[in-house]
Structure 1
Amino acid sequence: MASQSQAIQQLLQAEKQATKKVSWAHKQKNRRLKQPKAAAQAEIEQHCLQKEKQFKAKEAAARGSHRPRMTILQTYFQQSREEVSDQLLAFVCGIQPEIPENYRING
C-alpha cells in the first residue's frame, strides 16, 4: 500500500513537471510568434517615416515653385484693385429704379 501511494506521488510530481514544461513551451512559442510582429511593426513605422519625409520634401518643392506665380498675381491685384473697386461702386450706385411693366395699381 505504501508503494502504491509512493507511486501515485511520483506520478503527481511527474504530471506537475510536465505541466510546467508545457507551460514554458507555450510561453516560448508565444514569444517567438511576437518577435516577427514587433519587427514588422518597426519596419512599417520606418517606412511611414520615410514616406512622410518624401511627402514633406515634395510639398516644400511645390510650395517653392508657386512663389513666383503668387508674386505676379499679387502685383496684378495691386495694380487693378482701384480700377475694379471704382467699377463696382459705379455699377452698384448706378442702378436706376423702374416700375415693372406688368405692375398694376389697385385702386
Structure 2
Amino acid sequence: MTSQSQGIQQLLQAEKRAKDKLEEAKKRKGKRLKQAKDEAMAEIDQYKLQRENEFRRIQSSIMGSQGNLSVKVEEQTAAKIQALSSSYRQNKEKLMAELLDLIFDIKPELHANYR
C-alpha cells in the first residue's frame, strides 16, 4: 500500500509541477503579448508622427504658394487700379468737353404736335 501511496504522491507532485509549468508558460505568453502590443503601439506612434510631419510639410508648401498667390493678386489689383486711375485722369478733360458740348448745343425746334 505504501508503494501505491508513493505512486499517488509522485503523480500529485508531477501534476503540481505540470500545473506550475503551465502557469509559468501562461505568464510568459502574457508578457510576450504585452511586449508585442507595446512595440506595436510604439511603431504606430512613430508612423503617425512621420505621417503628420509629412502632412505639415506638404501643407506648408501648398499654403506657402497660396500666400504667394494672394500677394500676386493684390499686386495685380493695385496695377489695374493704377491703370484705371491714369486712364481716368487722361480722358477726364476730353469727356467733360464732349459732355458740355452736347449739353450746350441746343437747337430750338417746334414740337411736332404744335403745328
Q: TM-score range by the shorter chain?
A: 0.7 to 0.9
Task: Determine whether 1:46 maps to 2:98.
Answer: no
The more displaced of 4-13 and 46-55 is 4-13
* Map of 1:30 onto structure 2: 55
Q: Deviations over 1:3-40 (max 9, x none)?
A: 22211111111011111111111111111110111110
Stretches of structure 1 lacking an aligned partner (at least 5 in a row): 96-107
**What TM-score comes out, normalization by structure 2 length?**
0.70
Stretches of structure 2 lacking an aligned partner (at least 5 in a row): 1-24
- How far, CA to CA, are the matches of 1:60 and 1:69 in structure 2? 15
- How far, CA to CA, are the matches of 2:51 and 2:76 in structure 1? 38
- How far, CA to CA, are the matches of 1:23 and 1:34 in structure 2? 16
**What TM-score comes out, normalization by structure 1 length?**
0.75
- How far, CA to CA, are the matches of 1:76 and 1:30 in structure 2? 67
Structure (1 or 2) with the greater helix fraction: 2
Return the index of the structure with the highest Cα Rg. Answer: 2
The more displaced of 46-55 and 22-31 is 22-31
Query: What does residue range 1-107 of structure 1 map to in structure 2 within 5 Å?
Result: 1=25, 2-81=27-106, 83=107, 86-87=108-109, 90-93=110-113
